[in-house]
Amino acid sequence: MFFSRHLLLLLAGFSGIISPASAHFLELVPSTALVTKSGESRLSFDIRFTHPMEGGPLMNIERLDRFGVQTVDGKHDLTGQLIVETLPMALNPARVQSYTADYSIRRAGDYTFYASPSPYWEAEEKTMIIHHTKVVVNAYGLENGWETPVGLPVEIMPLSRPYGLWTGNIFSGQVMNNGTPEGDAIIEIEYRGEGKITPLATPYITQTIRTDENGVFHYAMPKAGWWVFAALLDTGKTLPAPDGTEAPVEEGGLIWVHTQNMP
């Protein structure tokens, strides 16, 4: 699907494997998956555009057009909380922007955080990429909203509650394209290995599954940690590329879920 220059450069290091199969994903990862005591209630987010399994390289996020939280009270804009983080980019003398943000949880309930970066020009694919991304943090066990859509242009609706999952659990979701189920969509799945896992071969880096005709998919997560599910759609939109020509837009709906080993 994807032919990523970043990946190829990375793989040149390990055994000359050439593969077209890996992608970048927007990471929206909170400091804790569940808030169970007040000491955990100050969340900090790392918002990065990267390859989660390999833990890099980073790609630039020019700006975040959307960053907020949805609770039982509605949506709250959090773009004022964003702090730009400028980090050196591997394999390139340029520096790239990522973001961090803090958010203090004061009440029990479900907190759905969401972010949409400005379109990213993927030169190798000649595509503009936009990843609408969300993650649900539950506080103090009150379940009141994880199943409520945020209303992102492309969005994965969790059919499994997206927190409190054990390692090995199946995660089920439904892909919505402007509120309508998207059948036969491609879902890419990646574990946030942060470069600590050496994949035996490139197909292990990104898993690919297809939804059924109702946009529904299922995947069993074999390891504890953070997993991303990305529905990547060609919605027929175009945007001007840096050279001014109209380029297709890959619009993604992403959800991050966390798994925990059973003690």
If the CB atoms of residues 3 and 140 are measured against Cu ion, the closer one turns out to be: 3
Q: Return the number of the residue (4 or 174) whose C-beta is nearest Cu ion.
A: 4
49: its two tokens: 């555009």
Q: In angstroms, rounded to a whole number, what is the distance separating the alpha carbons of residues 199 and 52? A: 12
Beta-carbon-side half-sphere exposure of residue 4 (alpha carbons within 13 Å): 21
Please classify residue 84 by burial: count the beta carbons closer than 10 Å to its beta carbon, then call 0-12 exposed, 13-18 middle and 19+ buried.
exposed
Beta-bridge mates of residue 130: 251
The count of residues interacting with Cu ion (CB under 5 A) is 3
CB nearer to Cu ion: pick between 6 and 258: 6
> What is d(CA 55, CA 18) in angstroms, rounded to the nearest whole number?
19
Q: Which is nearer to Cu ion, 49 or 217 (CB)?
A: 49
- Between CA 216 and CA 174 the distance in angstroms is 4
Task: Tell whether residue 6 is a contact of Cu ion (CB under 5 A).
Answer: yes
Shortest Cβ 159–Cu ion spacing (Å): 29
Q: Minimum Å distance from CB 121 to Cu ion?
A: 12
Q: How far is the CB of 24 from Cu ion (least distance, A)?
A: 4
Q: What whole-number distance in Å separates Cα of residue 76 and Cα of residue 70?
A: 6
- Choices 4-12, 149-157, 231-239, 254-262 (CB under 5 A): range interacting with Cu ion: 4-12
CB of 75 to Cu ion, least distance (A): 30
- Give the footprint of Cu ion on residues 11-40 (CB under 5 A): 24
Residues that bind Cu ion (CB under 5 A): 4, 6, 24
